[in-house]
Amino acid sequence: MAYKTNKYPQDELIFVDEFEVRIKRKKMKNMRMRVVASDGHVEVNVPLRMPLESVKAFVRSKHAWIVREQQKLQNSPQRMVELASSAQVREWRAAMEFFVPPLVEKWARVLGVEPGVLAYRNMKSRWGSCQPTTGRICINTRLALYPPECLEYVVVHELCHLREHGHTPRFWALVEACLPDYKRAKKLLEA
């Protein structure tokens, strides 16, 4: 019985000038490139039969863009998180323990809600959480790395859940009534 062999490897690692480039061959029409946040390497998705020289030329043509993206990553909060010591993580928590209670007090009064326990955690996938039944609010300590408006947005977001449990249109209208420019902070956190 003959087995189908793939004459094009799925993943290749090459170096183009100073860049480490990982090539992923896929059934597609055009090349797509990104700079990967974890370590700044370049990843290029390319059509299965794309010649290697074409890939190299494409990467070289995007040299300035790659350098800009890698510089952005070096100074990004995500990079700081990856390189953080346990002492730095403790500093983030201390900052949140200092700044969050006054914000919660201010916005709880405005919203007419009674929050419960405040908690702080170094979370990977959430900026905050709220348990409407107990009023417990948990804030991600990594918010210490972002502009103050991001922290305020997360506090308001979680407190709004004490009035509107889901992400309904009424919930978002309530957030917007408190912070008309909330989308800017939201976008910073999603970047």
pLDDT in tens, 113-139: 999 999 999 888 899 999 999 999 999
Q: Where are the domains of the chain?
A: 11-75, 84-190
CA 26 to chain centre: 26
Q: What is the residue type of 184?
A: R
Task: List the one residue out of 144, 28, 49 whose CA is nearest residue 96.
Answer: 144
What is the third-level CATH fold of 84-190?
Answer: Zincin-like (3.30.2010)
Q: How confident is the model at residue 151 (pLDDT cuts 50, 70, 90)?
A: very high
Closest CA to 116 of 106, 102, 103, 130: 130
The per-residue pLDDT for range 169-190, each reduced to its tens digit, is 999 999 999 999 999 999 988 8
Query: 35-69 burial by CB neighbour count: b if 16+ within 10 A, else e?
Result: beeeebebebbbeeebeeeebbebbeebeeebeeb
Per-residue pLDDT tens digits for 7-41 = 545 688 888 888 889 999 989 889 999 988 767 88
Q: Is the pTM of this model over 0.85?
A: no
Does the pLDDT of residue 5 top 50, yes or no? no
